[in-house]
Amino acid sequence: NAGVTQTPKFRVLKTGQSMTLLCAQDMNHEYMYWYRQDPGMGLRLIHYSVGEGTTAKGEVPDGYNVSRLKKQNFLLGLESAAPSQTSVYFCASNRGINTGELFFGEGSRLTVL
Amino acid sequence: GDSVTQMEGPVTLSEEAFLTINCTYTATGYPSLFWYVQYPGEGLQLLLKATKADDKGSNKGFEATYRKETTSFHLEKGSVQVSDSAVYFCALSMGTGNQFYFGTGTSLTVIP
């Protein structure tokens, strides 16, 4: 059972470079989310999607873009990476039912030099 | 807005000690409440949940009761083990967009 898969697991970028993180889920979930985790800050929501073709901003969306062209995939893009975007990024999915839990990927550690 | 406040860590306990991690919430409606656990190098995984007032969630010896009157969802375990060493997150979810709000996490270390 794959669940939620994130690629890549690790990446080092230079300031100004761009990259895309891919999240794939095989549970036919409607909702998908991107979070970042920083020491002492817990998890903060970047963007989320309530269905194929839809996206919405979360708590900290600046500097990121997302796309949900296929139901099973949710992409997070950094157009011009900054050191402040050094973080661990988690993708999660949810069935869309109010009481449902989040299922998380293993995380992607991004370092921007 | 909706939010979760949880006890700051880190917490260090001896094996077999009693554990309490406090969590309180602020919400405009009737949220579902969750405890997630993150083991080193891994993503978060659901530990337990409660969906309405007075519900008790339990799993792996951990328990938490949804207290509407005190807006709390404290995590407890009677006898911790070394394998319980992890970071614990309290969270709530509300309806529209099914947005989840997380506490800052509490790091627990259990020593033999």
Would the CA dihedral through B52, B38, B109, B103 be positive or negative?
negative
More confident residue, A110 or B28: A110
Q: B99 contacts in A (CB within 8 Å)?
A: 45, 48, 58
CB A15 within 8 A of CB A81: yes
pLDDT at position A2 over 80: no
Q: Which residues of B touch A56 (CB under 8 A)?
A: 97
* E strand residue ranges, B18-83: 19-21, 23-26, 32-38, 44-50, 56-59, 62-65, 75-77
**Whether A27 contacts chain B with CB within 8 A:** no
* Percentage, residues of chain A above pLDDT 90: 85
pLDDT of B95 over the 70 cut: no
B64 strand-pairing partners: B57, B75
Q: Which residues of A31-58 are buried (b: 16+ CB within 10 A; e: fewer)?
A: bbbbbbbeeeebbbbbbbbbeeeebeeb
Tokens of B27: 């919400």
Compute how many other C-beta atoms are within 10 angstroms of the C-beta atom of residue A28.
Answer: 9
What is the CB neighbour count within 10 angstroms for residue B111?
Answer: 11
Dihedral pair phi/psi, residue A106, rounded to 5°: -85, -10
What's the rounded mean pLDDT across residues B1-5?
87
Q: Write the residue in A35, A58, A96 that is nearest to B98 by C-beta.
A: A96
Please tell me the distance in Å from B38's CA to the nearest CA on chain A.
Answer: 10
Question: Are A56 and B44 a contacting pair at CB < 8 A?
Answer: no
Residue in B2, B77, B69, B1 with CA at minimum distance from that of residue B35? B77
Cβ contact B98–A50 (<8 Å): yes
Got the DSSP string for B73-109? --EEESS--GGG-EEEEEEEE-SGGG-EEE---EEEE
The letter for the amino acid at B109 is T
Q: What pLDDT does B2 receive?
A: 83
Name the residue facing B98 among A58, A98, A104 (closest C-beta).
A98
For the segment A83-100, the average pLDDT, to the nearest whole number, is 89
For residues A94 and B32, give the distance between their C-alpha atoms in angstroms, rounded to a whole number. 14
Q: In chain A, what residues touch B32 (CB-CB under 8 Å)?
A: 98-99
Would you say residue A1 has pLDDT above 70? no
Residues B100, B42: Cα–Cα separation, whole Å: 19
